[in-house]
């Protein structure tokens, strides 16, 4: 694939693709804390953070990657001041310990999809292949 090509991987809808590969990078759409059937996880922001990270993991797996390949995360919290510490704890627990954590930005927003309180969007780098 040359640098200007763009390839959608996995399901796409009117809202967009779940995963796009372009220019050596993998872009994942916003992931919320839902189970494999698409139902929002009940419980706390910690529970939904862990579930959202698993959604990201499943999407990355479609292109042979995992959280060790993530270079940037955008985090959206609908209850920023209330949930920031709990989110951070669950997020830190879910990250791999053998690589530096990705850069990130955390944004407080008024509302998120289906009334959830956390959403993650990531950019990962494709792995170099041996020639």
Q: What is the pLDDT along the chain (131 residues), one digit of tens a residue?
A: 445 566 777 666 657 889 999 999 999 999 999 998 989 999 999 999 999 999 999 999 999 999 999 999 999 999 999 999 999 999 999 999 999 999 999 999 999 999 999 999 999 999 987 55
**Domains in the chain, CATH or no CATH each:** 6-125 (3.30.1330.40)
**CA–CA distances in Å: residue 75 to residues 1, 41, 96, 104, 117:** 29, 18, 17, 7, 10
Q: C-alpha angle 57/58/61, rounded to 5°?
A: 85
Beta bridge partners of 119: 32, 76
Predicted TM-score (pTM) of the model is 0.90
Helical pair 45-61 and 80-94, crossing angle rounded to 10 deg: 50
Phi, psi values for residue 112, rounded to 5°: -130, 170
């Amino acid at each position: 694939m040359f640098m200007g090509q763009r390839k959608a991987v996995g399901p796409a809808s009117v809202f967009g693709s779940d995963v796009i590969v372009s220019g050596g990078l993998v872009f994942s759409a916003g992931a919320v804390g839902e189970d494999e059937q698409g139902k929002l996880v009940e419980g706390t922001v910690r529970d939904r953070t862990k579930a959202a990270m698993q959604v990201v993991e499943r999407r990355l797996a479609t292109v042979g990657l995992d959280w060790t390949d993530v270079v940037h995360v955008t985090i959206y919290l609908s209850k920023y001041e209330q949930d920031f510490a709990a989110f951070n704890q669950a997020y830190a627990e879910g990250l791999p310990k053998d690589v530096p954590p990705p850069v990130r930005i955390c944004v407080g927003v008024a509302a998120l999809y289906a009334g959830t309180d956390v959403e993650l969007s990531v950019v990962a780098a494709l792995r170099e292949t041996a020639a």
